[in-house]
Structures are given as structure tokens and as C-alpha cells.
Structure 1
Amino acid sequence: MWTKYHKKRRLGRFVLPAMTVAFLSYFGYHCVHGDYGLRATEVFEQQRIARQQELAVLVAKREHFEKEVALLSDGSLDKDMLDEKARYQLNYSRPDEIVVFNK
């Protein structure tokens, strides 16, 4: 039978705050240490910077090759470039020449 004055339990006061602390602790931990947390964001940023530098190197190489191809195209054939490529591929030089390779 219920009465107007029933005894309050001390344990009942701590259930909701304990659940709240557990909930916030769980999500707080995963905000920092999770797959997409703060620490993972730092790793992603380092990877982004490294890949951006790698992209810059590859773009520079591509531009260099595009310039070489433009010099060897039919419309503007550069005879010095053609001679240089032919000598490099055939490993040919005259006895009075000095050959310097840049790679």
C-alpha cells in the first residue's frame, strides 16, 4: 500500500547522474581517441600535407615531360632535342665530345 510519506532511497538519487556521467564519458573518449577523433584528425592532416608535397613533385615532373613532348612534336621539331634523345637512347657520342648526363 502506498502512503503519502514513503522513504526515499539514497541510491535512487545517484542513478541519473551516474548514467549521465557514463554517457558523456563514453562519447568524450571517442571524440578524442576514436577513428575520427582529434588524434586521428592530426594524422589525417599530416598525411594530407605529405600527399600535397608528393602531388607538387608529380605535377612538376608532368610539366617537364609536357615541355619535352612539345619540343619533339611534328609542328615544332627541335633538332637539338631530337639529337640529344637519339644520342642518349643509342649511347652514341663522337670522340671529341664531352657528355654530361643530368638525371
Structure 2
Amino acid sequence: MHRLRVFLRALILPLALYTAAGVTAAYFIWHGVNGQRGLKTGEEYEQKLEQLRLERNLLKLQRMHWESRLALIKGNAVDADILDEEARKRLGRVHKNDVVIFLQASQAP
């Protein structure tokens, strides 16, 4: 009986300590990869940052487009083409020589 206790103590105690050390290491490794400040989070932040940069560039292009259109109607003189285009758009009218092409909803800009 005494030998069985010694054998179990010699086997169980190191096994329990190795298991506890392994579980602790696995906990820290998992959180180091998947945690709030882990490696995956850094990659997700980089992807989100790249997406936001693309959106910012698109918005800059749109702003430049609208600023150029506004420059045409600012000041004392209004560009005749811009005035004509806006009047037709708002009134829903076309000139007799215009060609109207109807787009499906999926093709409309």
C-alpha cells in the first residue's frame, strides 16, 4: 500500500503540475492571439483602417467633383450648361433634339 502511494504521488503530482502549467500557457497564448489586444485584433484594425482610407479617398474625389461644379455656378456669371442641366433635371423636361435613354434600376447611376 505504501508503494502504491509513493508511485501515485510520484506520477500524479508531476502530471498535475504539468497540466496546470499547460493550461496556464494555453490561456495566455489564446488571449495573445485572439484577445482584445491580440494578433488578430491588430490585423482587423489594419483592414478597417485600409477600408476607411479607401472611403476617405472616394469622399475626396466626390468633394473635388462638387467643388468644381460649384465653381461653375459661383460668382457673377453662371455657366449656361450647368444652369440648363439643373433646370431640366428639376423640371423634368427635355429639349426637342435630346435623346432620352431609360435605364433599368440596376443600371442607374
Q: TM-score, normalised by structure 2?
A: 0.63
Give the corresponding residue for 2:62: 61
Q: Deviations over 1:23-79 (max 9, x none)?
A: 765544322221111011111111111111111111111111111111111244211
Give the corresponding residue for 1:41: 42
Question: Unaligned regions of 5+ residues in structure 2, if any?
Answer: 1-9, 103-107
Give the corresponding residue for 1:79: 80
Deviation above 3 Å: which 4+ runs of structure 1? 18-29, 99-103
% identity of equivalent residues: 31
Structure that is richer in helix per residue:
2
CA distance in structure 1 between the partners assigned to 2:101 and 2:86 by the alignment:
13
Verify the 8 A CA contact 1:72 1:78 in the aligned structure 2: yes
